[in-house]
Amino acid sequence: MSDPITLTEVPIAAAWNVQGNASRADFTDQVSLQFATSLPTAPNTTVRSDALTAFWLGPRSWLLVAHRPESPLADFTHKRDALNRAGGALFDLSASRVAYQIAGEHAASVLADGCPLDLHQRTFRAGDCAQSLFGRVNALLYKPDDTPTFIIMVARSFARDVWQALRQTAAQYGYRAQ
């Protein structure tokens, strides 16, 4: 019997959508000043810094997810105004998504029940992210490391349905929910 699947809700303490033109230095300087991170410019990749992970969402759009609990509204207006002045935008999305971690040998199979993407280690590597569907729900997928572990982020209102579907599929392999 292989290792069971582990399903875990990963709390998101703070998350922001940053938008702007990554080829403009005033914008990227301001992001770096406010969040101490660079932004990934290659599609479907991430940049992990000490405090947060930056996900590529589109040519002008990123999702920043904080690693540690922090108040999303601390300094929000200050940061927003600074980015607006630099020709960019900052939206608080801290409460808008729910993240689940699926880990274990068959983690990719569990996701393959609802996600049409190829999540094989050859094509979806550590640090990669992708926006796709899980069932009929928009999902942001992320592979944090080289182990068979995935993180799926979905809009809060869909989370209950997605969690149920993950559990139902994971039950085939045996799972622990945390």
Task: Return phi, psi of residue 74, to 5°.
Answer: -60, 120
Nearer to another protein, 50 or 60 (CB): 60
What's the closest the beta carbon of residue 19 comes to another protein, in angstroms?
Answer: 4
User: Residue 155 carries which DSSP code?
Assistant: E
**Which residue carries 């080289």 as its tokens?**
146
* Start-end of H helices in 45-145: 76-85, 107-112
Q: Which amino acid is at 29?
A: D
Nearer to another protein, 50 or 87 (CB): 87
Distance from C-alpha of 177 to C-alpha of 5, rounded to nearest angstrom: 8
Nearer to another protein, 50 or 96 (CB): 96
What's the closest the beta carbon of residue 178 comes to another protein, in angstroms?
Answer: 19
- Confirm if 83 and 92 have CB atoms less than 8 A apart: no
By the criterion CB under 8 A, which residues form the site for another protein?
17, 19-20, 60-61, 72-73, 77, 80-81, 84, 87-97, 109, 112-118, 120, 122-123, 135-137, 155-158, 160-162, 165, 168-169, 171-172
What's the closest the beta carbon of residue 32 comes to another protein, in angstroms?
Answer: 19
